[in-house]
A and B are shown apart, each in its own frame.
Chain A
Amino acid sequence: MLIRFRNSCDPAGSEITPESVYINRRRFLAGGAAAAAAMMSGLAVPAAAQGKAAPLPGDIGKSSLSTDEVQTPFDAVTRYNNFYEFGTDKEDPARYASQLKVRPWALTIDGLCGKPGTWDVDALIKANRLEERVYRLRCVEAWSMVIPWVGIPMADVLKQAEPLASAKYVAMQTLLDPAQMPGQRRSILEWPYVEGLRLDEALHPLTILCVGLYGQVLPNQNGAPIRLIIPWKYGFKSIKSIVRLTFLETMPPTTWNRSAPDEYGFYANVNPAVDHPRWSQKRERRIGEFFRRDSLPFNGYAEQVAGLYAGMDLVKWF
């Protein structure tokens, strides 16, 4: 426990993955999922990730909301994760998340809505148009990635439940199952992990419920089978392995805010002007790059989302 050497037979780190190897989005779309899978096995994907690497059903649409920045290699995206349900080490989720049974999976939507109910995730995937969204992901720990997520606009899902006018917030909850999620056997955080959004944030076109990445079914360590992606907020807002969405009138509690209220706010918008009390948020390390780069307000999505916070003091509402 104390002295943790990494397994020396682990595959090589992403930083040396040759540029020619990692998946370029266009090439991927042209070559199809099978070719992509073959190329990825060439990247020595860990068994846990490989086992789940199945193509998603149906066509995956493109989106004008995607960035054309260089994408972080699949290997890094699936082996460097914060998912404390499976341990606090970055490599723990890739090691242990294969224990999680992700099918069948029920997603409950309830609270202040006209049509509460429970949806099967596969049925949800079939019933909705999947879109690829290549987004920047900025972790509160000052590192970042560019990831080709695949998902459903969250608004499409939420509207099916017909939220009432009184609904102002959406509370979200991760599965609670210490038998499958060993990290939940210790009270490092208060389990289950909960997050929340203002309803207008949840309905924003950038916000998606994500079911895949790199054209494949979402690997367990990335929050399978269904997770939130909200790209202008720090990564911890993008809750993983969701089992419940609840419409509320009042602001719901959120896990990291409960854990350290002075360090993690409800909004948690990426903001280089507001430092984490213990470290600077001015710059970030893009995984795979040597030099730190400047962090951008709203993670570079200010044009689309700054209006949601017009008139708000973002230092107070960090």
Chain B
Amino acid sequence: MVLAAPTASHRPRRRSDRLIRFVAKPVVFVACLLPLAWLAWHVAAGELGANPIEKMNRFLGDWALRFLLISLAVSPLREIGGWPVLMRFRRMLGLFAFTYVVLHLSSWIGVDQFFAWAHIWADIVKRPYITIGMGAFLLLIPLAATSTAGMIKRLGAKRWKRLHMLVYPAAALGCAHFFMMVKADIREPLIYAGILVALLGWRAATRRWLAISRPSPSSRGSVAPIPPPVSSAPPR
């Protein structure tokens, strides 16, 4: 099977690598910030409608979920489209998902509820959709914390990958969180859930739960090949 075979890129084509590092990655980085820029612009201009706090909260939640699904789409797209280069962007996308989750949570706690801790705690405990949302956030914390190359080395690729399977339940909880909060029109949350089912279904069908964990045919051992998706540095 064609993988992002480290052997293939072992003799790095320096030009294309530089292109990814200094052009493509910054472009994707800026693109990921666009929703935030849109939000900042509309907050500053007072153009978020009659209930700007609600709109900001929903907007950040929408993008948190979208980035989670985009991160989860990287592996399938890489395999189906044969674009190993996509893996170079996965960590960034995942960290943006976490960033939007944190912003979503912060806007709920700090703006919507304005640090009314008693009410916040009561909501987390009593409202299943909020409990579930908090659960998704908690599951994502260790993933963000172990996103560095150093943490991958320290944990070992195998354990690191196993830990990062937490993104699957986190995304499922995120979709459930959205589904459970709407009043009657469930079309939009169903679209998100459908995409998640497709992304997880692909993994189930192809048994690629561990994403890039298939040992390469040359069997380079379990530690040496640092997974390309999470490594920003070219394999040496």
- Out of A76, A141, A282, name the residue touching B119 (CB < 8 Å): A282
The answer to whether the Cβ of A58 comes within 8 Å of any Cβ in the partner chain is no
What is the CA–CA distance of A90 and B183 in the complex, to the nearest angstrom? 13
The answer to whether the Cβ of A6 comes within 8 Å of any Cβ in the partner chain is yes
What is the CA–CA distance of A260 and B182 in the complex, to the nearest angstrom? 12
What is the CA–CA distance of A57 and B193 in the complex, to the nearest angstrom? 52
- Out of B42, B66, B113, B191, name the residue touching A6 (CB < 8 Å): B42
What does the 1/0 interface line of B107-146 toward A look like (CB < 8 Å)? 0000001101001001100111100000000000000000
Tally of chain B residues near chain A (CB < 8 A): 31
Interface residues of A, dominant DSSP: loop
Q: Do B184 and A91 touch (CB < 8 A)?
A: no
Give residues 271-318 of A contacting B (CB, 8 Å).
275, 278-280, 282-283, 285, 287-288, 290-292
Residues of A within 8 A of B116 (CB): 292
Q: Do A79 and B129 touch (CB < 8 A)?
A: no
Q: Do B38 and A291 touch (CB < 8 A)?
A: no
Residue from the set B52, B122, B183 with the largest chain A CB neighbour count within 10 Å: B183
The answer to whether the Cβ of B50 comes within 8 Å of any Cβ in the partner chain is yes
Q: Do A80 and B181 touch (CB < 8 A)?
A: no
Residues of B within 8 A of A287 (CB): 50-51
What does the 1/0 interface line of B29-57 toward A look like (CB < 8 Å)? 00000000010001001111111111000
Residues of A within 8 A of B128 (CB): 278
Q: Do A88 and B185 touch (CB < 8 A)?
A: yes
A interface, how many residues as a size bin?
Answer: 35 or more
Q: Do B50 and A15 touch (CB < 8 A)?
A: yes
The answer to whether the Cβ of B86 comes within 8 Å of any Cβ in the partner chain is no
Also in contact, A13 and B185, with CB within 8 A (given A285-B51, A292-B116): no
Instruction: Give min CB distance, B190 to chain A, whole Å.
Output: 11
Q: Do B123 and A90 touch (CB < 8 A)?
A: no
Residues of A within 8 A of B53 (CB): 285, 290
Instruction: Give min CB distance, A115 to chain B, whole Å.
Output: 37
Q: Do A88 and B38 touch (CB < 8 A)?
A: no
Give residues 63-81 of A contacting B (CB, 8 Å).
75-76, 79-80
Residue of chain A at shortest CB distance from B45: A12
Residue of chain B at shortest CB distance from A279: B127
Residues of B within 8 A of A16 (CB): 46
What is the CA–CA distance of A285 and B50 in the complex, to the nearest angstrom? 11
Q: Do B184 and A88 touch (CB < 8 A)?
A: yes
What is the CA–CA distance of A186 and B186 in the complex, to the nearest angstrom? 11
- Out of A5, A14, A188, A279, name the residue touching B38 (CB < 8 Å): A5
Q: Do A13 and B119 touch (CB < 8 A)?
A: no
What is the CA–CA distance of A188 and B114 in the complex, to the nearest angstrom? 33
The answer to whether the Cβ of A118 comes within 8 Å of any Cβ in the partner chain is no
Q: Do A13 and B188 touch (CB < 8 A)?
A: no
Instruction: Give min CB distance, B118 to chain A, whole Å.
Output: 10
- Residues in B lying within 8 Å of A, measured CB to CB: 38, 42, 45-54, 66, 113-114, 116, 119, 122-123, 126-129, 180-181, 183-185, 187-188, 191
- What are some 15 contacts across the A-B interface (CB < 8 A)? A1-B191, A3-B66, A12-B46, A13-B46, A13-B50, A13-B52, A14-B50, A80-B49, A80-B50, A88-B184, A88-B185, A143-B54, A260-B184, A278-B127, A278-B129
